[in-house]
Amino acid sequence: MPDLVRVEPIALLPTQAGCAVFLGDGKKAIVFYIDPAVGASINSSLAGQQPPRPLTHDLFLQAMDTFGAKVSRALIVRMENDIYYARLILEAQNEIMERKIVELDARPSDCLALAVRCGAPMYVLRSLWETLQDMSGVLDEMREKGMDFGDLGQA
C-alpha cells in the first residue's frame, strides 16, 4: 500500500487538558491530543494490563467478535483546523454472511485504542503524512527533560 504510511504509538504524555499521542514510522513522528480517559485506556492496553471489567473499547471488540467481525486496520485520512479524522476498517464474516468490509468514520483516538487491543495496523494517508510537521525533535527534547511518558516513554 504505497499510498499509506504505517505508524505505531511511540509516546503518550499526560497534559493538563488530556493526553498527547505521538505516532511514528521510525523516521518521523506526529502528535495529536486526545481525551485523558482514552489515553489511559490506550496506555493500559499497551502495558498489557487487563481491567477488572471491560472498558468501552473492550466491549465494542467483544460485540464485534460475537458477530464475526474484526478490526482490519485504522486509517487517519485528513486534518482540518488541527483536528484529525480517521476511518476504521472492519471485516465481518460468519455462518450467515459472506465476507463484508465496512468502513466507519471514527476518531483517531478510538481507532488507536481498538487497534492496540487487537493488534491491527494503523496508517496515515501518505499525502497527509507528507504535509505534517515532524515532531521527533520535540519528543526528544521532552525525553531529555525527563518528562513522564508512561509505559511508552522509551519506545
Q: Please state the domain count of the chain.
A: 1
> Mind listing the pLDDT tens digit for each residue in 114-151?
999 999 999 999 999 999 999 999 888 888 887 766 54
> Mind listing the pLDDT tens digit for each residue in 68-100?
899 999 999 999 998 999 999 999 987 787 889
For residue 99, give its domain range: 4-152
Which is nearest to 151 in space by CA: 7, 18, 46, 19?
Answer: 46
The amino acid that residue 146 corresponds to is G
pTM of the model: 0.87
Residue 32, Ramachandran bin (φ over 0: left; ψ between -120 and 50: alpha; else beta): beta
CATH number for position 47:
3.10.690.10
